[in-house]
Chain A
Amino acid sequence: MSAAGSAASGVPHLDVDPFDMKFFADPYPTHQLLREAGPVVYLDKWKVYGVARYAEVHAVLNDPATFCSSRGVGLSDFKKETPWRPPSLILEADPPAHTRTRAVLSKVLSPTVMKQVRDRFAAAAEERVDALIDKRSFDAITDLAEAYPLSIFPDALGLKAEGREHLIPYASVVFNAFGPPNQLRQEAIERSMPHQAYVAEQCQRENLAPGGFGACIHAQADEGAITATEAPLLVRSLLSAGLDTTVNGIGAAVYCLARFPDQWQRLRGDLSLARGAFEEAVRFESPVQTFFRTTTREVELSGARIGEGEKVLMFLAAANRDPRRWDQPDSYDITRRTSGHVGFGSGIHMCVGQLVARLEGEVMLTALARRIAKIEITGEPKRRFNNTLRGLDSLPVTITPA
């Protein structure tokens, strides 16, 4: 890695590959290099601009007219390449089209709806902890971070019981596909057909149980808010981004609390800290590490001139640990004031399911902390590699009941 300055643009050129296995294994030294090289950098490997400081990441997220999403939020530029699947009507859209679809999902996943599902989500978390206490030793990823969202989210959506094993592999494809054409992306897309077929089928109205999030989206078509052909694609957004993200969020929180026993004890002493403990894990681990935008015009960003049609890679994870914005950014502190972190993004595209994620995280951590005295890591954690998502594949633990 080097940080040679480029006289031509004043933007430092770096030869780092932020989609490389070595990077994924330990991204933090490279995040620091990216932040310290300058407010805007250029990555020669993929011919993209990059921002890794909080201020610039926040600025790019909050200027969607200049840094658009409709040309794709991965490396692929939809103006130049055919997307691997029909573009998302919300993630990969700009205002005014985005405004309409966003309003629909905001309504379906609103604070009011969260109040209605809270008791159900909390009861399922208690049931999960019952099962874990019986086991004592288990894999905190498979048996907890995956098992819990799988026990509630597909039902909340209204999915059929059959075929749910496609959900996590499908999400894995979606998030790998935002990356460059590396082995992770190519292999994911090559193997995606059965998962895509399952998802396309489940998005249809007749396959979604009444009262679920999916049916609520279709009901919006009756109201005229969206068309009947748009509804399935909006359901697809929940299938793409609603499960694997919370798996990685809950996994991150449990991994943090197992690694930092002082924070676990603080949480046990005050269960009202559960929601903050989850939020801080989202900042600290940033389950969604990166997203791209594309410039719609020539723009100057913190002194760097970026031409039209350029891809800009936002390092959300690096921004969440930028010492310019955060005190002791590398420490996990469940009482930290996390408001403003970009783990869920910021601006008009900020995660529309953030309330679902927080609810799941809060009730799960509350149930764990109430009934478990100690969580010990008993084996080497294994990382799961994905071009966008950061999380573990396996985290062997043993618990001591309270």
Chain B
Amino acid sequence: MPAITFIHSDGKSDRIETSGGESAMQAATRHGLDGILAECGGNAMCATCHVYVDEIWLARLPAVTDDEDALLDGTAAERLPNSRLSCQIQITPELDGLVLRLPERQV
């Protein structure tokens, strides 16, 4: 199964094994990762699973939908060009090794 790495705002990192058909957010919450709140449980409504995608991976992710784009305007930490919601990143075998940086805060 693909593994992904979350880098916390203090620089520490966690490598997480994903299971089939889950989003990066689901993998993170399943492992009890600090730094992803996911208050709405993956329904794309709350913007509390915000991540910054490592540059080399950005183009390999599916495009941002209008709904996600609107939510990203409301993130608690600054929105950057590489901001995404981790509930909208479905982990596929091609994303093995994906690196996601966590913002300082989600609310």
Q: Identify which of A337, A352, A358 contacts B29 (C-beta below 8 A).
A: A337
Q: Identify which of B37, B70, B74 contacts A115 (C-beta below 8 A).
A: B74
Q: Which of B1-43 contact A (CB under 8 A)?
A: 29, 32, 37-43
On chain A, the residues within 8 Å of B75 by CB distance are 111
Nearest-neighbor residue (CB-CB) of A111 within chain B: B74
A111 touches B73 (CB 8 A): yes
B40 touches A354 (CB 8 A): yes
On chain B, the residues within 8 Å of A344 by CB distance are 40
Instruction: Identify which of A103, A339, A352 gathers the most chain B CB atoms within 10 Å of its CB.
Output: A339
On chain A, the residues within 8 Å of B46 by CB distance are 111, 354-355
B41 touches A339 (CB 8 A): yes
On chain A, the residues within 8 Å of B41 by CB distance are 339-341, 346, 350
Determine the main DSSP class of A at the interface with B: helix
Report Cα–Cα, A111/B38, bound state, in Å: 13
Nearest-neighbor residue (CB-CB) of B107 within chain A: A275
| Chain A interface residue count, Cβ-Cβ cutoff 8 angstroms | 25
Decide if B45 is an interface residue (CB 8 Å cutoff). Answer: yes
Decide if B47 is an interface residue (CB 8 Å cutoff). Answer: yes
Q: Which of A344-373 contact B (CB under 8 A)?
A: 344, 346-348, 350, 352, 354-355, 358, 362
Decide if A219 is an interface residue (CB 8 Å cutoff). Answer: no
Decide if A207 is an interface residue (CB 8 Å cutoff). Answer: no
Determine the main DSSP class of B at the interface with A: loop
Decide if A322 is an interface residue (CB 8 Å cutoff). Answer: no
B32 touches A106 (CB 8 A): no
A347 touches B43 (CB 8 A): yes
Question: Smallest CB–CB gap between A361 and chain B, Å?
Answer: 11
A350 touches B38 (CB 8 A): no
On chain B, the residues within 8 Å of A113 by CB distance are 74
Report Cα–Cα, A113/B45, bound state, in Å: 13
Decide if B71 is an interface residue (CB 8 Å cutoff). Answer: yes
Q: Which of A97-148 contact B (CB under 8 A)?
A: 103, 106-107, 110-115
Nearest-neighbor residue (CB-CB) of B106 within chain A: A275
A340 touches B73 (CB 8 A): no
Report Cα–Cα, A112/B72, bound state, in Å: 9
Report Cα–Cα, A348/B67, bound state, in Å: 13
Q: A347-B43, A362-B107 are in contact. Are A110 and B70 (CB under 8 A)?
A: yes
Q: Identify which of A106, A115, A341 contacts B45 (C-beta below 8 A).
A: A106
Question: Smallest CB–CB gap between A270 and chain B, Å?
Answer: 14
Report Cα–Cα, A275/B67, bound state, in Å: 24
Nearest-neighbor residue (CB-CB) of B38 within chain A: A339
Nearest-neighbor residue (CB-CB) of A114 within chain B: B74
Question: What 0/1 pattern do residues 49 to 93 of B give for CB contact below 8 A with A?
Answer: 000000000000000000100110111000000000000000000
A111 touches B43 (CB 8 A): no
Nearest-neighbor residue (CB-CB) of B34 within chain A: A337
B74 touches A354 (CB 8 A): no
Question: Smallest CB–CB gap between A237 and chain B, Å?
Answer: 16
Nearest-neighbor residue (CB-CB) of B75 within chain A: A111
On chain B, the residues within 8 Å of A103 by CB distance are 67
Question: What 0/1 pattern do residues 77 to 92 of A give for CB contact below 8 A with B?
Answer: 0000000000000000
Some 17 contacts from A to B, beta carbons below 8 A apart, are A106-B70, A107-B70, A110-B70, A110-B73, A115-B74, A275-B107, A339-B38, A339-B42, A340-B29, A341-B41, A350-B43, A350-B45, A354-B39, A354-B46, A355-B46, A358-B39, A362-B107
Interface residues of A (CB under 8 A from B): 103, 106-107, 110-115, 275, 279, 337, 339-341, 344, 346-348, 350, 352, 354-355, 358, 362
Interface residues of B (CB under 8 A from A): 29, 32, 37-43, 45-47, 67, 70-71, 73-75, 107
Q: Which 10 A-B pairs have the closest CB atoms?
A: A111-B74, A112-B74, A339-B38, A111-B47, A340-B41, A112-B73, A350-B43, A339-B29, A339-B41, A110-B74
Beyond the given A339-B29, A347-B43, please list 7 additional residue pairs across the A-B interface where CB-CB is below 8 A.
A106-B67, A111-B74, A340-B42, A346-B43, A350-B41, A355-B46, A358-B39
